[in-house]
Structure 1
Amino acid sequence: MLYDVILKISYEYEYAATGGRHLLRLMPAHIEGRQHLITGYLDIKPRPNERTDTYDAFNNTVSHVVYYLDHPEISFNLKARVECLTQNSGLNMSPNLAGLRTELSSINSLAPDSPYHFLGNSPRVRINAVMTSFAYTHTNDEMDAISVVENIGMALHREMTFDPDATTVETPAEEAFEKRTGVCQDYTHIMIACLRGIGIPAGYVSGFIRTIPPEGTERLEGADAMHA
């Protein structure tokens, strides 16, 4: 299926910024066997003094942007066409946690898709004893890894309350988990910490949700959203 994606992000500063440096990861990714980026264009206003488009270690497109002059506002406008490929769920062949540890120990690679990148602490996610204990209460040694992931996700869904005013982009996952409230990025950071704590590789993905309007109503542009 083909999707035409339009994303608009804008900021108005309280006081004009005297300069700036930004790393932007907004372009949809090409994921072998799952989605194909046909075309994409990122327009930035005001026009930056320097711009370099490259790829990071995980093959995400990164735009490096630098401003030397004052600017009271900034906007990022993305247009892209993406083909999403049909996925066959297939059979659940995932091992239990003990089997997963054995499989991971046999991997000797630090390639971009290596699970070792997604097992330890990272700048936004720290393995935490409280969240690890929570994860273990929703699993057992006989459950396969996919079932463990589903169980922990459903447990967080039951116990957490979505509140856009409860946290900020700087709120640690530990604080959001203690309060049992937050937004999608908090849920995701907590889930990652839970999974890594019990030895399941997990990483952060940001994408777009396509909403389906009620039957008989027109689909509204701008009704969809980015989501973690």
Structure 2
Amino acid sequence: MADFKVIHKTKYNYDDTVAYCHNIAHMYPLTTTHQDCYRTHVTVNPKPVVSSFRRDYFGNQVFLFSVEDPHRFLEVVVESTVRTHQSFDFDLSKSSAWENIYSMIHESSLDLDLQAIEFIQPSPFVTLKQSYADFAKMIFSENKPVFVGALELTQYIYRNFKYDPKATNINTPLEQVLLERKGVCQDFSHLMIAALRSLKIPARYVSGYLETIPPPGVEKLQGTDATHAWVSVYCPTLGWLDFDPTNGKMITEEYIITAIGRDYSDVSPLKGILFGGGKHKLKVEVDVIREQI
């Protein structure tokens, strides 16, 4: 169990005046079996004329706001207090064989199983191809328990792919990521999801934060944490379990979940429509601060 204070600052500076803008933010940590979110406060400057909260289709807490006064910058600061829990400890080998997952959820009448069907389908950033299925089958041998295979695939990506922020951008095709074996957490998560879905295993995209710890003797700098992404995999008899291919492990108490969706397009921290502005500069600062319990 761990308590965290999370501060997420986003600032846009525009070359020209923005007449008005409409935005949606996925920056509110969820309350789940993994964590409890006790407080979230958002500050927007310039002050919005209209703002509201709602749950989206996937159950995420979203903040919608409109700034209707002319402005040359937009700053959004979200402060949250979250308590995370130790990950549920059980034998991964007790999960169902991966080949049986598809038939199990289609023959079930349980809501959770039926909802999982959606996460076998392609989505805007995740296509399904035989090449991705072949990639997964290097790991998923016959009758392998689905969570055992998911962890092995997680570790394979961690060992064989290079983390390189300059190698990709939001529009880099997954084929390139698979071929060049370079990218960032978003790329590795999308690739793992594509591989699993190509085997008809439900997988969803998780966005959130990860506590980072500097080397011994090095002071942690303010604003140097970042948003993170990982993968949630479904087994009908056990539910959803989260795996981080960027770090080669299952999630632990230092992970904080903000939103869950099919891929990045469903959970972008901040997106919207603006009128005017021209080119812009973006600055994002994230602090994940562990507090004493």
TM-score, normalising length from structure 1? 0.89
Gaps of 5+ in 2: 230-293
**Higher mean displacement: 128-137 or 155-164:** 155-164
Change (3 A) 1:112 1:138: closer
- Counterpart of 2:119 in structure 1 is 118
Rounded to whole Å, the distance in 2 between the matches of 1:129 and 1:14 is: 45
Q: Is the 8 A contact 2:106 2:114 kept in 1?
A: no
* Alignment of 1:133 onto 2:131: no
- Counterpart of 1:52 in structure 2 is 52
Q: Which has the higher strand share?
A: 2
* Alignment of 1:153 onto 2:158: no
Change (3 A) 1:210 1:65: same
The 3-state SS of whatever aligns with 1:205 is strand
Alpha-carbon distance, 1:100 to partner: 2.0
Change (3 A) 1:162 1:145: same
Aligned CA RMSD, in angstroms, stands at 2.2
The 3-state SS of whatever aligns with 1:9 is strand
Gaps of 5+ in 1: none
Change (3 A) 1:188 1:55: same
- Counterpart of 1:35 in structure 2 is 35
**Per-residue CA shift, 1:166-217, capped at 9, x if unaligned?**
2222323233333322211111111110111112111111111112233455
The answer to which structure, 1 or 2, has the higher relative contact order (CA under 8 A, 6+ apart) is 2
Alpha-carbon distance, 1:141 to partner: 1.2
Q: How many residues align?
A: 227
Alpha-carbon distance, 1:106 to partner: 2.7
- Counterpart of 1:64 in structure 2 is 64
Change (3 A) 1:214 1:166: closer
Change (3 A) 1:208 1:107: same
- Counterpart of 2:168 in structure 1 is 167
TM-score, normalising length from structure 2? 0.71
Change (3 A) 1:111 1:87: closer
- Counterpart of 1:24 in structure 2 is 25
Partner amino acid, structure 2, of 1:24: A
- Counterpart of 1:75 in structure 2 is 75
Partner amino acid, structure 2, of 1:97: W
**Per-residue CA shift, 1:70-126, capped at 9, x if unaligned?**
322211101111111233312222111123233222333566982112110112211
Rounded to whole Å, the distance in 1 between the matches of 2:114 and 2:58 is: 7
Q: Is the 8 A contact 1:5 1:79 kept in 2?
A: yes
